[in-house]
A and B are shown apart, each in its own frame.
Chain A
Amino acid sequence: MSGRERPVRAHDLFWLVAGFSVWAGGFSALYGLHAIGCRAGWDEMDFVSLSVNRWALTGVYLAHITAGAALYLPLRAIAGRWQGESARTMRQVAVALTLAALASTIWSGAPVLVLEGCI
């Protein structure tokens, strides 16, 4: 550890909700974008063998997975520095939630990879 140990502070509670906020953002974005794309007729426009709708959805899906995964590195670094009585449990909870959220993002958006269309 890096010698810059510090107690867990109020703003660290961010890490309890960050991962699942990314999940929620991804979930809403996919749901909303799908509806908008269908309305705008993107499912009928093709681009490199897939519909524009499919491209957009896949892009949003991957972006949220990347964002969820990207949370993990700073969390490791920051939570590693936590010390004091709450540190252990908070670290456990924050890491578990961040990883669970990443798994949820991957799982609940996965239908964009296999399903298509607006019906």
Chain B
Amino acid sequence: MSRIPPITLHRALHAVWKAPRGPGALSAVNHSVVGRRFIITAFVFFAIGGLLAMLIRAQLARPENPFLGADAYNQIFTMHGTVMMFLFAIPLIEGVALYLLPKILGARDLAFPRLSAFGYWCYLFGGTIILASMLMGVAPDSGWFMYTPLSSSTYTPGVNADVWLLGVTFVEISAICAAVEIVVTILKVRTAGMSLTRMPLMAWYLLVTAGMMLLAFPPLILGSVLLELERAFDWPFFDPERGGASLLWQHLFWLFGHPEVYIIFLPAAGAVTTLIPVFARTKIVGYGWIVAAIISLAFLSFGLWVHHMFTVGIPHLALAFFSAASMLVAVPTAIQVFAWTATLMRGRPQMSLPMLYLMGFFSVFILGGLTGVMLALVPFNWQAHDTHFVVAHLHYVLIGGFVFPMLAATSYWLPLMTGRMPVFSVSRSAFWLIFLGFHGTFLIMHFTGLLGMPRRVFTYEGGLGWDAPNLISSIGSFVMAAGFALFVVDIVLQLRFGRRFRRNPWGGTGLDWAMPAPAPSYNFASLPLVTSRDPLEDNPRLGADIAAGKGYLAGAPRAEMETLCVDMVSGEPDHVLLLPKNDYTPFLMAGGLAVFFVLFLFSAYAFSLVGVVIAAVFGWRWLWSLGARTDPEPLDAGHGLVLPVHYAARSAPTILGLKYFLAANAAFFGSLIFGYLFLWTTAPDWPPPDILDIDLLRLATLAAGLAGAGVLARLARRANDKGDARWRMLALAGSALASLLTLAGLGALALLNAPSPVSHAYGAITMAVIGYAGLHVLLGVLFTAYALARHLFGYVSAVRSADMRGAEIWQAYTAITALAGLALIVLMPGAFG
């Protein structure tokens, strides 16, 4: 390649990549900016959750404390749990992933920068709604898992529970977006030569975590939707008086809730796995074993949910399945611990700051594991159930297994953001305060629990032996809070006074340290060819080579934002991804959703649809901005590599993203089917007298419409592949028309044949299945209409086929799920009536 001075390259790239300032910041989509926003916002919520914890501890410091009443206390501990789990832990993981992934994979940005920006706004708006409710004194107060019937309108008539259901659902939209983003980025957007098995293990951890998120969040979203339908429109899914079952909520919640523990734990474990070899000056032991272990852990964690429901009267045999699976998860966890220990033993560990936090992690986490084993013993569980012993255990696991590794990760990667090193004495004192304060708070809380103090009570009588341990816990928690405050002080000091460095202060071997610090807006001036798992060890001058433009796609000669997409497994480049410029669309689309959620919260149901329309308009505009109206020329990526542009490539990220989104959607549908079968088999008064009656002719017409729309969309795509524009248009129009007619048919079914959704849970869940199908058919109409419009405006060709393939996949998904749903609601009454 030509010899361009690095500074020239830098200027050219920065001109294209730099983040907008001022009000334009609302349009920023770059992964460093969005990732940083996620991380900072998550830590702000951590501070808020911590503040609430301080209030809890202040209240419990002495017996019969008049400081908080029962009402306020309920809101505060519910908010503490909700904020920590949904607004701190998960978003922090997403932020770290979004910020780091391109840097460790050798890319300039994520696969869909606007999608993560959209996710960020959903998170911010949803979190704000939840917080605002607290300021107005109507915060959720039924505990962080919101059990029905406590959270049903009979017992929680106010808006409190709606805040939780709507706010958390809004935030979970961002989790689904982040998960799709993470999976597709890891599979496609890497640098040349980075095969799957050369990826840093952190990428594997995040890949598996994101896969779990795609499957674990939908049950929670479904549960929230159903409960909100019950609260808003009186559809009795959870009301035993009318054929509902409150246990359905527990199932849907823990179907999410248990995997959630691992969703939090796995990225933290990924950080541990990344940091240990760096500070032990060696390589990780057992790369392949770790990959196998985390994949098994991901699957197994979905087979445990019922262990949170051991006391609710589930048959022994069913319980036995879950106990057996619960024991299995110990194996992959142990494999990781072995790998870490073996790595430490093989190397020469150094006690740098991140390592200190890792030691904190080990000591705390092991104790948490021990108390977990104690809780798994059924007789002991009965003793300790719902006491402060459980609270202590929970925090050993969450703070030990998540907060300490994340603090280690923060102190390790923060210099990459700031370009400066931590101020040593301060950061060490912060660690010790947190560590000692933590044990001071929670170690003794085990005994408080064993002495019988229940959790979730706002006060207690003196003289039960609970006074002293509670006071110690409270003092400990204030020491810990001081430690966190010092941690923040340390960051400020680092920003102002930290020692500057140029590159790689810790001696890492991954691509994240092959860039100057603070990381430039474009990450890499050129994209390196990777030939092993430790590129920086193979070539210590790699950073300088990259900056000098010796890799692929050097600089920004076309004034475009470019990065490589590779073959999923081998890492061979297969096309160039052109990234979107800064754009207000994600912000505005999330704003539309915010309008919807807020109006819905205020029971303005009809008006709230305005928000949906706003969101849909911007969603359309977003899609419209993709692609181009002419077939693009291949691009010169340097070193003789000529590659197509992504919208002319077969394996473009967009279609892959759609598929993963549909995987999450299928998990949602599966949970709905589960709900139907669950109610049918376990709820009282089933089947009800009034069941769905539908004549065969109507049913056959609906089925034909669904199948026809699917087949026609497929024919349209095939015609397009052959370059046949006329058939492309006719088949597409046919598909749109078939969907439109099916929609009308489904509407008639809902209005004329289906039993009332309010008189019995049967009617409610049947209507939910019809509604699911109807919504997808409606979107099918929109997608085919969109593809038609794109056809008319010249965006579609045999080469630029993404719109056609998208419509085909959507219509096929709709046909399959809607047919399955119809079959279920038609056949079940027949088979079990």
User: B569 to A8, Cβ gap below 8 A?
Assistant: yes
A86 within 8 A of B: yes
Q: In the bound complex, do residue B196 and residue A86 qualify as a contact, i.e. CB atoms below 8 Å apart?
A: yes
| B680 A7 Cβ-Cβ under 8 A | no
Question: Which residues of chain A come closer than 8 Å to B321, judged between CB atoms?
Answer: 27, 30-31, 108-109, 111
Contacts of A64 in B (CB 8 A): none
Q: Within the complex, what minimum Cβ distance (angstroms) separates A107 from chain B?
A: 6
Provide the bound-state CA to CA distance between A10 and B292, in Å.
17
Partner of B295, one of A9, A20, A27, A34: A20
Whether B155 is near chain A, meaning CB under 8 Å from some CB there, is no
B104 within 8 A of A: no
Q: Does A70 reach chain B (CB closer than 8 Å)?
A: no
Residue of A nearest to B331 (CB): A100
Residues 102-140 of B contacting A (Cβ, < 8 Å): none
The listed residue (B196, B296, B315) touching A100 by CB distance below 8 A is B296
Residues of B within 8 A of A118 (CB): 315, 317
| Chain B residue contacts of A109, Cβ below 8 A | 321, 324
B54 at interface by CB-CB < 8 Å: no
State the CA gap A34–B832 with chains docked (Å): 15
Contact, CB under 8 Å: A9 / B569: yes
Please tell me if the beta carbons of B569 and A13 are within 8 angstroms of each other in the complex: yes
Contact (Cβ within 8 A) B288 A93 = yes
Task: Kindly state whether residue B424 has any CB partner on chain A within 8 Å.
Answer: no
**B489 interface residue, CB < 8 Å from A?**
no
Report Cα–Cα, A23/B298, bound state, in Å: 12
Q: Is the CB of B681 within 8 A of A35?
A: yes
Cross-chain contact B570 with A32 (CB below 8 angstroms): no
- What is the interface size of chain B, counting residues whose CB is below 8 A from a CB of the partner? 35
Residue in chain A with minimal CB distance to B680: A39
Q: Which of B292, B300, B303 has the largest count of A CB atoms less than 10 A from its CB? A: B292
- Give the complex CA separation of A3 and B753 in angstroms: 62
Query: Is residue B396 within 8 Å, beta carbon to beta carbon, of the partner chain?
Result: no
Query: Is there an interface contact between B569 and A107, defined as CB atoms closer than 8 Å?
Result: no
> Any chain A CB within 8 A of the CB of B316?
yes
Main secondary structure of the interface of A (DSSP, over half): helix
Evaluate contact between B296 and A107: CB separation under 8 angstroms.
no
CB atoms of B316 and A119 under 8 A apart: yes
Q: How far is the CA of A108 from the CA of B327 in the complex (A)?
A: 9
Asked if B682 and A86 make an inter-chain contact with CB atoms under 8 angstroms apart, the answer reads no
Does A86 lie within 8 Å of B569, measured CB to CB?
Answer: yes
Whether, in the assembled complex, A74 has its beta carbon less than 8 Å from a beta carbon of chain B, the answer is no
Any B CB within 8 A of the CB of A38: yes
Does the CB pair B299–A23 fall under 8 Å?
yes
Contact A119 B315 (CB under 8 A): yes
Residues of A within 8 A of B45 (CB): none
Task: List B residues 818-833 near A (Cβ within 8 Å).
Answer: 832
B278-329 CB contacts (< 8 Å) to partner A? 287-289, 291-292, 295-296, 299-300, 302-303, 315-318, 320-321, 324-325, 328
State which of A17, A38, A85, A100 has its C-beta within 8 Å of the C-beta of B197: A85
- B interface footprint on A77-119 (CB within 8 Å = 1, 0 otherwise): 0000000111001101100110011001001111110011111
A36 at the interface (CB under 8 A from B): yes
B803: CB under 8 A from chain A? no
Which residues of B have CB within 8 Å of A32?
677
Which B residue sits closest to A107, measured CB to CB?
A: B324
Residues of A within 8 A of B567 (CB): 10
Pairwise interchain contact B317-A35, C-beta atoms closer than 8 A: no
B-chain residues with CB within 8 Å of residue A36 when the two chains form the complex: 677, 681
Q: A10-B569, A20-B295 are in contact. Are A96 and B197 (CB under 8 A)?
A: no
Is A45 among interface residues, defined by CB-CB distance under 8 A?
A: no
Contact assessment for B682 and A104 in the assembled complex, using a CB-CB cutoff below 8 Å: no
Complex contacts, B317 vs chain A, CB 8 Å: 34, 57, 111-112, 115-118
Within 8 A of B (CB), among A1-41: 7-10, 12-13, 16-17, 20-21, 23-24, 27, 30-32, 34-36, 38-40
Closest 5 CB pairs of A and B: A111-B320, A20-B299, A89-B197, A39-B681, A96-B292
Residues of B near any A CB (own CB < 8 A): 195-198, 287-289, 291-292, 295-296, 299-300, 302-303, 315-318, 320-321, 324-325, 328, 331, 567-570, 677-678, 680-682, 832
21 contacts between A and B (CB under 8 A): A8-B569, A10-B567, A13-B568, A20-B296, A20-B299, A24-B299, A31-B321, A32-B677, A36-B677, A57-B317, A84-B570, A86-B570, A90-B197, A101-B299, A104-B328, A107-B324, A108-B321, A110-B324, A111-B321, A118-B315, A119-B315
